[in-house]
Amino acid sequence: MATEATKIVWNEREKRFETEDKKAYLQYQLRNDGKVMDIIHTFVPSSKRGLGLASHLSVAAFNHAQSNSISVIPTCSYISDTFVPRNPAWKSVLYSEDLKSSI
C-alpha cells in the first residue's frame, strides 16, 4: 500500500478532479455562471478502493470551490451521504437550500 500522498489533478476541460492516472475521478457541472459546482459523480475503480481516494478527490474539489468562492451542490451520493457527514466543516461551502429553486 502506498504511503505517499496521492496527487489529485484538476482537469478543467473535462470538469473533473482526478488521480494522475485518470482512473479515479470526481465529475462536476458548473451552474449559475460558474458560481455553483454541482458534484455529480465520484468514481474509484475496485482495484483502488480502500485507499481514501474518494475523500482525497472530494477535498480537492471542496478546496477549489472554497478558494474560488464557489458553492457546492452535493448531487453525488458519496458526497451527500458519506463525505459531508464525516467532514461537517465543509457544510459552509454547500449551496444554500433556499437558493436551489433559482438554478
Q: Which domains does the chain have, with CATH numbers?
A: 8-92 (3.40.630.30)
Parallel/antiparallel/unpaired status of strands 8-11 and 16-19: antiparallel
In sequence order, the β-bridge partners of residue 43 are 25
Distance CA 36, CA 30 (A): 6
Q: Which residue has the higher pLDDT, 103 or 50?
A: 50
In whole numbers, what is the pLDDT of the chain averaged over residues?
91
Q: Say how many residues make up the chain.
A: 103
CB count in 10 Å sphere of residue 33: 6
The cell for 66 is: 472554497
Q: What is the pLDDT of residue 21?
A: 96
- Residue 102 has a pLDDT of 47
pLDDT bucket at 6, cuts 50 / 70 / 90: confident
Q: Active-site residue among 24, 76, 79, 84? A: 76
Band of residue 18 on the pLDDT scale cut at 50, 70, 90: very high
76 a catalytic residue: yes
Residue 1 scores a pLDDT above 80? no
How many CB atoms lie under 10 A from the CB of residue 24? 23
The Cα angle at residue 90 between residues 43 and 92, in degrees rounded to 5: 135
Q: Residues 26-36: what's their mean pLDDT?
A: 97
